[in-house]
Structure 1
Amino acid sequence: MSMTPYTIAILQADLDDLQERLTRVRWTNELAGVGGDYGVDLPSVKRLVEYWQSGYDWRIWEAKLNAYPQFTTTIDGQNIHFLHVLSGEDNALPLILTHGWPTSVVDYLDLIGPLTDPRSHGGEAGQAFHLVIPSLPGFGFSGPTTEKGWDRYRVARAWAELMRRLGYDRYGAHGMDWGSTISPEVGRCDPEHVVGVHVTEIFSFPSGDPAEMAALSSKEQDQWQAFQEWVKKKGAYATVQSTVPQTLAHALADSPVGQLVWNYQMYGDELSDNYILTNVMIYWLTNTAASSARLYYEDAHAEQVPTEPTTVPLGLCNFADVYQSIRRFAQRDHQNIVSWNVYDRGNHFSTQTAPDLLINDLRTFFHKLCPKKEANLGDEG
């Protein structure tokens, strides 16, 4: 039940070891003129590694994280690291924010100010939140998982327990990527306390009934085809991590450039080098390549999978070039979709590429559900 204050303090020896490894990188070969057709291209990797060696400063980002209260606690035998940032506004709604892979709690750093102190960031007092931002089990400063079974459902139960320990009787849940699969499960396992769930994707897929596919509109058919094309071109990481995560992890644990490239395949060029490298650093410094990849395996092999639709109010905040959220499928799995907003900019990493849209959508969604927010402050806060 205890909450232990936590400060990130990476040993200088670990940073020196990283730099030494980077000086000994052995570059791969590649075909001329193919660009990214075969995967992440060599020039992009060389540019990032050069910046990693000579321009990037981990201590700056360590200090940015340490500027916010952090804690650890043990839930279901697993260490859980989380940021807990209280708003100064009365009746702020507690909100748990869940990141995905290959990211971390760094995703939400730029949202902390606007969400906890809306009046200083173009909002109103009634739009304020108390924020709980955990590192997924097996990710980052939560450290590696030590036993089997940490699928989305177990994580959701851990999140509900975390919010209970913090003393929150009513709270919301938001997530992106894995957070978009976990957050609806938080609502499913704790419906008495979750007022609503807000996600950037809804992972609902065809049931196998041909009539369901035949009923898709032309727009939905195009959307499904676009998603299938994305899976063919960029979905190999999920197949590997859901089948043989340990095989891959041996390479990533030994090579920082390998960890960089495996993560970078999902990032692309739209995101800042500092954001990319800080996330890579968290995986590297905590040696969680294996345990973070295991989430895919555990979820693919989950033994107790709910079949009934969720009932807690659900809102989608979807961004450009994110294709998998098809409403016809989503309504089968979630019977209480109350908000469905699709934006023509941003992307999968919306906290970085369209934070204004995401913040406004979060404020609007929860304000409609809780026009008069009432919440208890967390016990450890």
Structure 2
Amino acid sequence: MSVIGDTTVQPFTVNFSEEDVADLRRRIAASRFPEKETTTDVEQGTPLATIKAVVDYWGNNYDFGRVERNVNAFPNYVTEIDGLDIHFIHARSPHEDALPIIITHGWPGSVVEQLKLIDPLVNPTKYGGSASDAFHVVVPSMPGYGWSGKPSEAGWSTERIAKAWVVLMEQLGYSRYVASGGDWGAVVTELLALEKPAGLAGIHVNMAGVVPPEIDGALATGNPVPPGTELSKEEQETVDQLKYVYSHVAYALVMASRPQSLTGLADSPAGLAAWLLDHDRASLEMIGRAFVDGEEGGLTRDDVCDNFTLFWLTNTGVSSGRLYRENKATFFGVKGVTVPTAVSVFPDEIYTAPRSWTEQAYPNLLHYNRLPKGGHFAAWEQPELLVSELRTGFQSLR
């Protein structure tokens, strides 16, 4: 146990009980399914064939010890910040002058999203990099997720999480650091930048908030782009993507308005899995191909079952969703970030940030790159590409 200032940071080990794993197995085996969807695509949500294949693999072929082993392969800790236990992985590099980085996951993710990044960032010389590419890596579980505490009262917004990350990095003794994230992690990272803590040297996001306010406001409310708005071809493509996104976010609206009604996520593993799968079309289709057709792309069946298992055994299906209710920040709109910023754009992200809007949103833009492959769960799907982006994006800040 190490003590930093007045705050105790305690070592933590993931330890799922045999009884809880046995109960999960029993519940998976007892799954009951609805009838087949009446469409031939994913427009009605997670297809019957996909969830049946998921349940079959999860119950009969998956190694339930994977999550424990994979997470425990790195140093884990818990500390109390603002009255709540915060779990985090903290892997220090052996290389001198490594740059500290805090990386934030999203929903329906967890710290398993970032596990593939940690060793290449910490030990770059093992993965084709140089010692000057090294990072000290901090990966926290957001409140209500994984092994962090579950807030018992309202108020744990994305802004409050950003403030907590400032405290965490100070407690760990880092006087200079960078931050990165996608999905909720991108929102939290940008809000962290708005805090302008003395130690924050720059940020990286792979779901950038670049949409001009008047356009973001119109699209978010189902209205057309304001008359007279001139859009380039690339900007129009982004607008079309966002129209689709805003008309297909029923899951977010439910969690924002009625999270406590999702009791089924705590009672049925199949129900939890189907809900977590239905985030965005490209990811759902990719995962469906992995389970139904055996066509594993960026994510393997084991990768996906790791996340299901973590959510189930920590019983965080409902508590994680409450962040949609707590959030007050725009997902995709400009937030006023002025710190040095690097942006990575993956082609199958729910929307692709145009360079023009990105340059306007971040006046101190260090790096902008459109990647050849990858989607919403970039750290999980394409860790090699994201590691390269982090090395390149922050190179000038070392």
Over residues 302-329 of structure 1, what are the superposed CA-to-partner deviations in whole Å (9 max), with x where a residue is unaligned?
7xxx997221111111101222524555
Q: How many residues align?
A: 365
The answer as to whether partners of 1:96 and 1:172 remain within 8 angstroms in 2 is yes
Range 181-190 or range 156-165, more displaced: 181-190
Query: 2:292: which partner in 1?
Result: none
Query: 1:241: which partner in 2?
Result: 255
1:12 has 2:12 as partner:
no
Query: 2:121: which partner in 1?
Result: 115
Report the Cα offset of residue 226 of structure 1. Answer: 2.0
Q: What is the TM-score with the length of structure 2 in the denominator?
A: 0.87
Range 4-13 or range 278-287, more displaced: 278-287
Query: 2:239: which partner in 1?
Result: 224
Over residues 185-243 of structure 1, what are the superposed CA-to-partner deviations in whole Å (9 max), with x where a residue is unaligned?
212214421111001011343422766971321221122102312332x4221111122
Query: 1:178: which partner in 2?
Result: 184
1:200-219 pair list within 5 angstroms: 200-208=206-214, 214-219=229-234
Over residues 59-105 of structure 1, what are the superposed CA-to-partner deviations in whole Å (9 max), with x where a residue is unaligned?
13311211111000110111100000010000101100110001111
The answer as to whether partners of 2:37 and 2:47 remain within 8 angstroms in 1 is no
Which amino acid in 2 is paired with 1:113? D
1:336 has 2:342 as partner:
no
Distance 1:213 1:98 in 2: 38
The one of 265, 271, 280 equivalent to 1:252 is 265
Secondary structure, aligned partner of 1:140: coil
Secondary structure, aligned partner of 2:77: strand
Secondary structure, aligned partner of 1:34: coil
Which amino acid in 2 is paired with 1:222? E
Distance 2:227 2:182 in 1: 27
The answer as to whether partners of 1:320 and 1:344 remain within 8 angstroms in 2 is yes
Secondary structure, aligned partner of 2:147: helix
Distance 1:352 1:96 in 2: 16
Secondary structure, aligned partner of 2:52: helix
Query: 2:222: which partner in 1?
Result: none
TM-aligned CA distance change 1:145 to 1:326, over 3 Å: farther
1:1-381 pair list within 5 angstroms: 1-31=7-37, 34-208=40-214, 214-232=229-247, 234-248=248-262, 250-266=263-279, 267-268=283-284, 269=287, 270=297, 271-300=299-328, 309-322=336-349, 323-331=351-359, 333-370=361-398
Unmatched tracts of structure 2, length 5 or more: 1-6, 216-224, 288-296
Which amino acid in 2 is paired with 1:263? L
The answer as to whether partners of 1:98 and 1:175 remain within 8 angstroms in 2 is yes
Which amino acid in 2 is paired with 1:119? T
Which amino acid in 1 is paired with 2:243? Q
Distance 1:133 1:96 in 2: 6
TM-aligned CA distance change 1:12 to 1:312, over 3 Å: same
Secondary structure, aligned partner of 1:139: coil
The answer as to whether partners of 2:202 and 2:339 remain within 8 angstroms in 1 is yes
Secondary structure, aligned partner of 1:311: coil
Distance 1:307 1:344 in 2: 25
Distance 1:85 1:49 in 2: 34
Distance 1:264 1:118 in 2: 32
Distance 2:302 2:334 in 1: 41
Query: 1:378: which partner in 2?
Result: none
TM-aligned CA distance change 1:207 to 1:32, over 3 Å: closer
The answer as to whether partners of 1:143 and 1:286 remain within 8 angstroms in 2 is no
Secondary structure, aligned partner of 2:86: strand
Unmatched tracts of structure 1, length 5 or more: 371-381
Report the Cα offset of residue 34 of structure 1. Answer: 2.7
TM-aligned CA distance change 1:36 to 1:91, over 3 Å: same
Distance 2:337 2:242 in 1: 24
Distance 2:261 2:311 in 1: 17
Report the Cα offset of residue 133 of structure 1. Answer: 0.5
Secondary structure, aligned partner of 1:142: coil
Which amino acid in 2 is paired with 1:154? R
The answer as to whether partners of 2:209 and 2:334 remain within 8 angstroms in 1 is no
Distance 1:91 1:221 in 2: 43
The answer as to whether partners of 2:345 and 2:352 remain within 8 angstroms in 1 is no
Distance 2:43 2:188 in 1: 32
Report the Cα offset of residue 366 of structure 1. Answer: 1.2
TM-aligned CA distance change 1:313 to 1:357, over 3 Å: same
Percent identical among aligned pairs is: 37
The answer as to whether partners of 1:224 and 1:324 remain within 8 angstroms in 2 is no
Range 105-114 or range 27-36, more displaced: 27-36
Which amino acid in 2 is paired with 1:70? N
Query: 1:373: which partner in 2?
Result: none
Distance 2:365 2:116 in 1: 27
Which amino acid in 2 is paired with 1:109? L
Query: 2:290: which partner in 1?
Result: none
Q: What is the TM-score with the length of structure 1 in the denominator?
A: 0.90
